[in-house]
Amino acid sequence: MRIKLRGKKLDFDPEGLEWRQQSSPDSRFAFWQSPVGDLFVKRFCRAPTGWDLILRSVKKPVPNTSKVLATASTEDEHFLFAEKLEGDTLYDLLQENRSPVYFSKSMPGPDDRLKIFVSVYAIVRALNRRGFWYPDLDLKNVFIEKRADGGYRVCLIDLDSCAPHGQAYVPDHVSQSFWEGMVQTCHNRGTPFLSRGNRVHPVIGVCGQALNQSMLILFAFYLQRLGYVPPHMPLYAPLVHPKNARGKEVIRLNEKLADENNCWEELPAFFSKVFKVSEEKFTRQIEENFSVPGSFFSWPKLRLFGKKLLSKYLSKSSH
């Protein structure tokens, strides 16, 4: 198989790699020491739900994800070639007590928790703006990449599980760790979270973008209780308990999301309270996480450029 990577045409032999199985029987992954560097390769026996997103991200990368360098397809298979990230998943570094390697403490501190959350929030928001939602939010898919300067970058991996807005989605082989808020809300309202119709397999009966926002609410509280509450303990029930000061707001947001209303405009104020920071600081960090490394067109620069254009337009219109 001939593929083009970083401007070079290379021969790729999939049988020469050691493939590892994932949770889905439809995909495997391997690492390839290619002539242009070490790469992560994923192999699919059928196109995943997020394949269109993967194809688009070759030319338009998603911030804070493993950069997709190329794709290839045969009659029977599809291949994804991406940069190899150096680091650990959040799950592994917590399980194996490697937090000090990244955070200098046995547990992520307040600033680390905020950085992790804001990074994930920004990526999910960016995906939603591109017409996709991310169903597989899990600590195993939050990747902490160690940087040469001693810092770290938070990435989200396995974007091939994403689904386009409005497309029927079968919830197989994805983590449902942070779905409880929406599932419980639907149960309390007497509306089905899953819908079968005339299909063989049930599909999610709520809007994927709304589910993403509900998932982020639980993810935020999960990060806040790390090290204080055992990970296996219930998450949603204590959160909406009458004695919890934020319980009513969490219920209200989930009710609104269950009606397929968008809460993106409300969430920064809500999450800034959860992490006990100003809304300005929270929003600023989101903008920084939308920037693509190495690109001139970062969000802060685009915002400044937009202000200059507006100022120029107003000055002209006043004459």
Q: Where are the domains of the chain?
A: 2-83, 87-290
Kind plus residue range of the DSSP H or E element containing 83: strand 78-83
Task: Please state, as a whole number, how many other Cβ atoms lie within 10 Å of the Cβ of residue 150.
Answer: 8
Residue type (1 letter), 74: T
Which residues partner with 88 through β-bridges? 144
What pLDDT is stored for residue 47 in this prediction? 95
Instruction: Give me the sign of the Cα torsion angle 34, 37, 41, 47.
Output: negative
What pLDDT is stored for residue 296 in this prediction? 35
**Do residues 268 and 257 make contact, with C-beta atoms less than 8 angstroms apart?**
no
**Do residues 155 and 184 make contact, with C-beta atoms less than 8 angstroms apart?**
no
φ, ψ (nearest 5 deg) of residue 235: -110, -50
pTM: 0.88
Residue type (1 letter), 53: L
Which burial class, exposed, middle or buried, applies to 269 when counting CB atoms under 10 A from its CB (0-12, 13-18, 19+)?
exposed
CA–CA gap between residue 60 and residue 83 (Å, rounded): 15
- N residues, the chain: 319
What pLDDT is stored for residue 291 in this prediction? 52
Instruction: Give me the sign of the Cα torsion angle 6, 7, 8, 12.
Output: positive
Closest C-alpha to 260, from 181, 207, 215, 309: 207
Tokens 């009458």 — which residue?
242
First to last CA, the chain: 63
User: In the CATH hierarchy, which top-level class contains the domain 2-83?
Assistant: alpha beta
CA–CA gap between residue 165 and residue 162 (Å, rounded): 9
Angle between helical axes of 208-224 and 267-274 (0-180°, round to 10):
10
User: Can you tell me whether residue 299 is helix, strand or coil?
Assistant: helix
Nearest-5° Cα angle at 164, 163 to 167: 90
What pLDDT is stored for residue 149 in this prediction? 87
Closest C-alpha to 171, from 197, 194, 189: 194
Task: For the chain, list residues with pLDDT below 50.
Answer: 292-319
* The domain over range 87-290 is classified in CATH as 3.40.50.1110: no
**Do residues 214 and 204 make contact, with C-beta atoms less than 8 angstroms apart?**
no
Tokens 């390839």 — which residue?
32
CA 45 to chain centre: 24
What pLDDT is stored for residue 319 in this prediction? 42
What pLDDT is stored for residue 288 in this prediction? 75
**Do residues 147 and 102 make contact, with C-beta atoms less than 8 angstroms apart?**
no
